[in-house]
A and B are shown apart, each in its own frame.
Chain A
Amino acid sequence: MKKNTVLGLEVPCGPNGVSVITVLQAIQGYYGYLPEEALEKAARELKVPLIDFYSVATFYKNFRLAPQGRREVVTCAGTACHVRGSEKITEEISRTLGVDISSTTEDGEYSLKCVNCVGACALAPLIIVDGRYYGQMTPLKVRRLFSDNPTKTEQTVSSGLSK
């Protein structure tokens, strides 16, 4: 694959041109997930068997075949977070938001994702909500964070962090 646009999207090239992974990354970067139609079109455009796209998309954890929720909640289950009690944090998020790991709430509001270490272990256990990090979490802080009064919670949590 030598060209560097697919479906009109720019795809970064490696020494061997674009690859199935970089194409999928570009598609997901644009749509937020991998829509079936887009994959079919891209496969035709690149003359790659569609199955190649699917086997790669299902092998790697970052690819999503369904749309994401409007807000993304990421919990860390890395070792540093685990020994500081991340399991209970994840559970509490699941319970509070009514969503399982790797799925999205029925109203399409929240997606919950669990990762292994984001490299900010000093903040363990931590969660990331829409790109914002919340460290030294406790189940209670989780509940406050997702309660109806988010502004108040943010203050509580961030002051808990910095002082």
Chain B
Amino acid sequence: MDLEAPKIKSAEEFFYIQRNYQKQYRDNNRFIAICGDTGCTARNSKAILGSLDRCLKEKDLSETVGARFTGCLGLCESGPLVIVYPEEILYHRVIPDDMPEIVEETVQAGRIIDRLIYRDPSSGEKYAYARGLPFYKKQVRNLLSGNWKTDPTKIEDYIAQGGYEALVKAVTEMSPGEVVQEVKEARLRGRGGAGFDAGLKWEECFKASGRKFIICNADEGDPGAFMDRSLLEGNPHAVLEGLIIGAYATDAREGVVYIRSEYPTAVEKIKTAINRAKELGLVGDDILGSGFGIQIYLSIGAGAFVCGETSALIASVDGRVGEPVQKPPRLVQQGYLDRPTVVNNVETLANVPHIIKQGAENYRATGTEASSGTKIFSLVGKVNNTGLVEVPLGMTLREIIFEIGGGIKEGKAFKAVQTGGPSGGCLPASYLDLPTDFESLTEVGSMMGSGGMIVMDEDTCMVDLAGYFLKFLADESCGCCFTCREGISRLLELVQNISCGRGSLDQLDLLKELAEVVKDSTLCGLGQTAPNPVLSTIKYFEDEYRVHILQNKCPAGVCRALITFEIIESYCNGCGLCKKNCPSDAITGEQKKPHYIDKDQCDKCGICFSTCRNEAILKQ
């Protein structure tokens, strides 16, 4: 039953209400969490929830067994995930029809269902308890732990687990200056890319006078990254609490959450969170009787990567074309509506309540001296355990990819890892023992970025990948600097020449030279970092470029102009499958007789290669 929720007017009232929520929450400690994040809902987890609800009703268990539709539980690869509490038994790849069995066997009879527990893809070992999984064991899930237990639409769940205590502490016990000091001492560095000291930014804004703004950057344009989306979908109140505390510390009375439209669920969740917080009086005027108040607005993006850059973002919040502008003046001096403005990333803000609650010193115990706390990575690509991982800053790439990520898919060889998105770089196996912190990654030509970590295996072509990022950036350049607009297109052309077999060694040199020019003569971070993917792939995989240029071959078998498909007569039994599926009618042959590919007709789509059951097709 929901309690009446009057506006909370003081710290005492907050703790009184919190005790009530906690009692409700404890009474409900037998519950089943179903991942309701985009990854698992795409695999039908809503129907799993429906099946569980029906089953609990039928068995008259609705009062004693709770059902929670949570945020991302982390191991997205194995979704849909279900966790049975309080034992924290984790079932993976669950289908709706499994739910009655889970209720009967696990909840009622206390037995583990062998078929549904996780099996490590490399060792084959089985794990029934979530915390025992190698995937979770090495992680430090400070920010993501909330995703496990809370229903993101319920502020009660968040408060019951200690949520908004940091806000209460900040506005009733601390001055804004003290909050700034605490965040400074925690050495919280921005998680949106650049790693700028959040406390310093806040301090500067606090010192400015008059109308001020704080903006949460939830644009998350880095393709292959979904940390911010998952925080907003799984634990929106944590981000909101950080935003309100940030507003208090900088004395900004208006806040904006700028979120990309490709994330409709996250938009809904944060909207609901803001409304619930308003109802309780945690957003609005005179929060907890402190005299401090804030209004929060949502601003939904319209599809432009460059709008993640702060000055472009501000133009976009104002409804204009998102073109970056020259700094200085810096935004903390003159930002949105020409007023002092702080822009912080989602994950940066989600760290704030932890800092205020546990104090800077305790916070700093995690991570390294210069990069404190944890970082969430979205570990994707050719890795076994695709998902969201949160680790102390400074953990090595090897630990993340091989111990947590379970290594490379299908037992293939690791080739490279890409961090920092289109601004970042690709690192080869020799850097696997590099600690992931802001400085180490930058030193070797990559970047921390916002936390996308894309793992690549022997089947990924580095020239193709460099071309991929350049194409992305050429499409996304706002076009106001000549060197960005033309330079990136020219870089792309050169790389495409190489992947078509029309490259030369001179072009390789030209590529390097031009990359430096683009780096040095562009206005915003997009242009300045655009050459990173090319430069880092040339730096670490120059051989691969050379094979393309000198031998007209693509070792990974990706660049179309450089590969051919051929049927090995002696392996082919004439089943006709390839012929039936070839979209270009390039395959001929009679039933039960060897087939043949017409190379001029072949479009190199690779369908035959993946359909032939006899490995009779050779890709070269």
Instruction: Point out residues on A near B: beta carbons under 8 Å.
Output: 12-16, 18-25, 55-56, 59-63, 77-84, 88, 91-92, 95, 115-124, 126, 133, 135, 138-140, 143, 158, 161-163
Chain B residues with Cβ below 8 Å from A120 are: 38-39, 42, 76, 226
Task: Give, as a whole number of angstroms, the nearest-CB distance from B269 to chain A.
Answer: 13
Per-residue A-contact encoding for B366-404, CB less than 8 Å = 1, 0 else: 000000000000101110001100000000000000000
> In the complex, are the beta carbons of A92 and B226 less than 8 A apart?
no
Chain A residues with Cβ below 8 Å from B353 are: none
Chain A residues with Cβ below 8 Å from B607 are: 139-140
Task: Give, as a whole number of angstroms, the nearest-CB distance from A119 to chain B.
Answer: 4
With A119-B220, A122-B77 as contacts: A14 and B256 at CB distance below 8 Å: yes
Judge whether B293 is part of the interface by a CB distance below 8 angstroms: no
Taking CB atoms and an 8 Å cut-off, the chain B residues in 90-119 that contact chain A are: 93, 95
Chain B residues with Cβ below 8 Å from A83 are: 381-382, 454, 456, 460, 465
Per-residue A-contact encoding for B41-61, CB less than 8 Å = 1, 0 else: 111100000000000000000
The complex places the Cα of A25 from the Cα of B299 at a distance, in Å, of: 11
- Which of the residues A18, A25, A79 comes within 8 Å of B421, measured between beta carbons? A79
> In the complex, are the beta carbons of B317 and A119 less than 8 A apart?
no
Residue with the greatest number of chain B CB neighbours at <10 A, chosen from A20, A22, A25, A80 = A80
> In the complex, are the beta carbons of B38 and A55 less than 8 A apart?
no
With A14-B299, A79-B224, A117-B223 as contacts: A88 and B606 at CB distance below 8 Å: yes
The complex places the Cα of A99 from the Cα of B305 at a distance, in Å, of: 25
> In the complex, are the beta carbons of B382 and A78 less than 8 A apart?
no
With A122-B39, A122-B76, A158-B44 as contacts: A139 and B319 at CB distance below 8 Å: no
With A21-B302, A60-B303, A80-B454 as contacts: A162 and B95 at CB distance below 8 Å: yes
Chain B residues with Cβ below 8 Å from A22 are: 299, 319
The complex places the Cα of A138 from the Cα of B610 at a distance, in Å, of: 9
4 pairs of A and B residues whose beta carbons are closest in the complex: A19-B319, A133-B42, A122-B76, A78-B223
> In the complex, are the beta carbons of B298 and A12 less than 8 A apart?
yes
**Closest chain B residue to A85, Cβ basis:** B606
> In the complex, are the beta carbons of A77 and B38 less than 8 A apart?
no
Task: Give, as a whole number of angstroms, the nearest-CB distance from A18 to chain B.
Answer: 8
Task: Give, as a whole number of angstroms, the nearest-CB distance from B145 to chain A.
Answer: 20
**Closest chain A residue to B48, Cβ basis:** A162
> In the complex, are the beta carbons of A116 and B42 less than 8 A apart?
no
Contacts A/B (CB < 8 Å), 22 sampled: A14-B297, A14-B318, A19-B317, A59-B478, A60-B304, A61-B302, A62-B301, A62-B303, A95-B583, A117-B223, A119-B38, A120-B38, A120-B39, A120-B226, A124-B381, A126-B42, A133-B38, A133-B42, A139-B607, A140-B611, A161-B42, A162-B80
- Which of the residues B380, B583, B606 comes within 8 Å of A124, measured between beta carbons? B380
Task: Give, as a whole number of angstroms, the nearest-CB distance from A109 to chain B.
Answer: 20
The complex places the Cα of A103 from the Cα of B462 at a distance, in Å, of: 30
Judge whether B129 is part of the interface by a CB distance below 8 angstroms: no
**Closest chain B residue to A122, Cβ basis:** B76
> In the complex, are the beta carbons of B452 and A79 less than 8 A apart?
yes
The complex places the Cα of A7 from the Cα of B325 at a distance, in Å, of: 33
> In the complex, are the beta carbons of B583 and A92 less than 8 A apart?
yes
The complex places the Cα of A61 from the Cα of B295 at a distance, in Å, of: 29
Task: Give, as a whole number of angstroms, the nearest-CB distance from A113 to chain B.
Answer: 10
With A119-B38, A119-B262, A122-B77 as contacts: A16 and B318 at CB distance below 8 Å: yes
**Closest chain A residue to B80, Cβ basis:** A162
The complex places the Cα of A161 from the Cα of B80 at a distance, in Å, of: 10
> In the complex, are the beta carbons of A61 and B303 less than 8 A apart?
yes
With A61-B304, A79-B224, A126-B42 as contacts: A118 and B262 at CB distance below 8 Å: yes
The complex places the Cα of A92 from the Cα of B582 at a distance, in Å, of: 11
> In the complex, are the beta carbons of A88 and B605 less than 8 A apart?
yes
Chain A residues with Cβ below 8 Å from B229 are: 119
The complex places the Cα of A23 from the Cα of B468 at a distance, in Å, of: 34
**Closest chain A residue to B421, Cβ basis:** A79
**Closest chain A residue to B316, Cβ basis:** A21
> In the complex, are the beta carbons of B382 and A117 less than 8 A apart?
no
- Which of the residues A25, A79, A119, A161 comes within 8 Å of B418, measured between beta carbons? A79
> In the complex, are the beta carbons of A140 and B381 less than 8 A apart?
no
Chain A residues with Cβ below 8 Å from B468 are: 79, 82
The complex places the Cα of A157 from the Cα of B418 at a distance, in Å, of: 30
Per-residue A-contact encoding for B256-276, CB less than 8 Å = 1, 0 else: 100001110000000000000
Task: Give, as a whole number of angstroms, the nearest-CB distance from B152 to chain A.
Answer: 15
With A25-B300, A55-B321, A140-B607 as contacts: A117 and B226 at CB distance below 8 Å: yes
> In the complex, are the beta carbons of A121 and B95 less than 8 A apart?
no
Taking CB atoms and an 8 Å cut-off, the chain B residues in 293-340 that contact chain A are: 295, 297-305, 316-322, 336-337
> In the complex, are the beta carbons of A123 and B39 less than 8 A apart?
yes
> In the complex, are the beta carbons of B303 and A123 less than 8 A apart?
no
Chain A residues with Cβ below 8 Å from B80 are: 162
The complex places the Cα of A139 from the Cα of B263 at a distance, in Å, of: 26
> In the complex, are the beta carbons of B321 and A116 less than 8 A apart?
no
> In the complex, are the beta carbons of A59 and B254 less than 8 A apart?
no
Judge whether B79 is part of the interface by a CB distance below 8 angstroms: yes
> In the complex, are the beta carbons of A116 and B472 less than 8 A apart?
yes
Per-residue A-contact encoding for B223-235, CB less than 8 Å = 1, 0 else: 1111001100000
> In the complex, are the beta carbons of B320 and A20 less than 8 A apart?
yes
**Closest chain A residue to B319, Cβ basis:** A19
Judge whether B20 is part of the interface by a CB distance below 8 angstroms: no
Chain B residues with Cβ below 8 Å from A25 are: 300, 302
> In the complex, are the beta carbons of B321 and A117 less than 8 A apart?
no
With A21-B302, A78-B223, A123-B43 as contacts: A15 and B320 at CB distance below 8 Å: no
Chain A residues with Cβ below 8 Å from B300 are: 25
Chain B residues with Cβ below 8 Å from A92 are: 583, 605
> In the complex, are the beta carbons of B225 and A117 less than 8 A apart?
yes
Taking CB atoms and an 8 Å cut-off, the chain B residues in 400-418 that contact chain A are: 418
Judge whether B213 is part of the interface by a CB distance below 8 angstroms: yes
Judge whether B581 is part of the interface by a CB distance below 8 angstroms: yes
Task: Give, as a whole number of angstroms, the nearest-CB distance from B57 to chain A.
Answer: 24
